[in-house]
Chain A
Amino acid sequence: MMIAKKISQIQTLIIDGKEVGGRSDETILQVARENDIFIPTLCHLDGLSEYGGCRLCIVHVKGLPRLVPSCTTLVREGMEVTTNSEDIIEYRKGILSLLFAERNHVCSVCVSNGHCELQWLALKLGITHVEFPYIYPKMPVDATHDRFIADHNRCVLCGRCVRVCHEVEGAHTKDVMGRGITSRVITDLMNNWGESNTCTGCGKCVHVCPTGALSEKGKSVAEMEKRRQFLPYLKRMRERS
């Protein structure tokens, strides 16, 4: 946790035609956000490690043969980055559409309707319909916990809950099982959440979840707002101590 701070150099680069500067230990995403350049993200969350899983933050770097995720690519001197070309936007829409097709994201009956990052991203990127056939999998809902509910129908496998449980809470109660289309977030040995001995019941996973996959019991649609302001704070305080 305590790594001696390396002296980082200032790098200058061009993002979307704008000359910007950033430290050599910063990612393209960080520098872009510091300069009010919008790059959509889903698995990224300030205060958690970068995962590079959702691929929504892909950008084009001049000279590289493929698109790179901006959340895991560090800035370099003289880089020329394009964040919002037509191609990139199409790819992002494709990625989001596949997420919608994979599970049962029915906003009208979801507790996170109106406070959902997936829904917000779809609106922001202008997705009006999904071209892929829906899979409609039969996913379980785990309501065994006293205070929380896990609805796997809404899960996009962004891995935020897994990371916050491991990195911030230190319990590592949650992880992802299986692979491909059969992947699922699990509690311990795929036990019911309510029976977990390792879960501290802190609720961080619920509040970092971008969708309605994890929610608090007894909250209505309007009330289920996620609060995440504690995350960067916790990270900063721990680095200090």
Chain B
Amino acid sequence: MNEQQGVGAKGQEDRRIRMVERTMRMYGNEPHALIETLHTIQESYGYIDTDLMRFVSEKLGVPLSKVYGVATFYHFFTLKPQGEHTCVVCTGTACYITGAKNIIDEIGKQYDIKPGETTSDNKLSLLTARCLGACGLAPAVVFDGVVAGKQNPESVNETIRRWFEK
């Protein structure tokens, strides 16, 4: 397949593809390595590209549609490149009833983005999570990988404004 050659050629110059191959090998290139492999792709590339999905599908013997289904089921995986900064708002039950929606609406209003989108200047990505497991900190927001608890629209705005000032 042409796609596979494309990824192969890229692999020689790309250290990241070796990380992906390493993960697959670690699990014996078996279909059950799918989620771990997608994790590696997400972490090393920052998003999951269709060519890589084809590559993984071929290597692990998992149908294309299944790879796509898994990649879109989990909120951790993103199919589009993310911005410089990411803001993940937890929309689990506890966070939702304590005002996660207000936070999302506020960010949406300020930066004109919906969950899953990135601002046009590539500075900020807004994402949502099902539940971070930090319900005692509700509503929780993750700023560039750091969890912050008991947030409100003002505090979130403040944190994001500081990113934009830099």
Contacts and interface: CB of A to CB of B under 8 A. Distances in A.
Nearest to A182: B72
B66 A172 contact: yes
Nearest to A198: B64
| Residue of B53, B63, B65, B68 contacting most chain A CB atoms (<10 Å) | B65
30 contacts: A171-B63, A172-B65, A172-B66, A173-B63, A175-B63, A175-B66, A175-B68, A175-B69, A177-B65, A177-B68, A177-B69, A177-B72, A177-B73, A178-B72, A178-B73, A186-B68, A187-B65, A188-B64, A188-B65, A188-B68, A189-B50, A189-B53, A189-B54, A189-B64, A189-B65, A189-B67, A189-B68, A190-B68, A198-B63, A198-B65
Nearest to B67: A189
Interface of B: 50, 53-54, 63-69, 72-73
Nearest to A179: B73
Nearest to B65: A175
A198 B72 CA distance: 20
A173 B64 CA distance: 7
A190 B67 CA distance: 11
A176 interface: yes
Interface of A: 166, 171-179, 186-190, 198
Contacts of B54: 189
Nearest to A162: B65
Nearest to B66: A175
Contacts, number: 42
Nearest to B116: A182
Contacts of B53: 189
A172 B63 CA distance: 6
7 closest Cβ pairs, A-B complex: A175-B65, A172-B63, A175-B69, A188-B64, A177-B72, A189-B68, A178-B72
Given A189-B68, A198-B63, 16 more contacts: A166-B63, A172-B63, A175-B65, A175-B66, A175-B69, A177-B69, A179-B72, A186-B69, A188-B64, A188-B65, A188-B68, A189-B53, A189-B64, A189-B67, A190-B68, A198-B64
A175 B57 CA distance: 14
A175 B70 CA distance: 10
Contacts of A176: 69
A188 B54 CA distance: 10
Nearest to B71: A177
Contacts of A188: 64-65, 68
A43 B109 CA distance: 41
Nearest to A177: B72
Contacts of B73: 177-179
B138 to A, nearest CB: 20
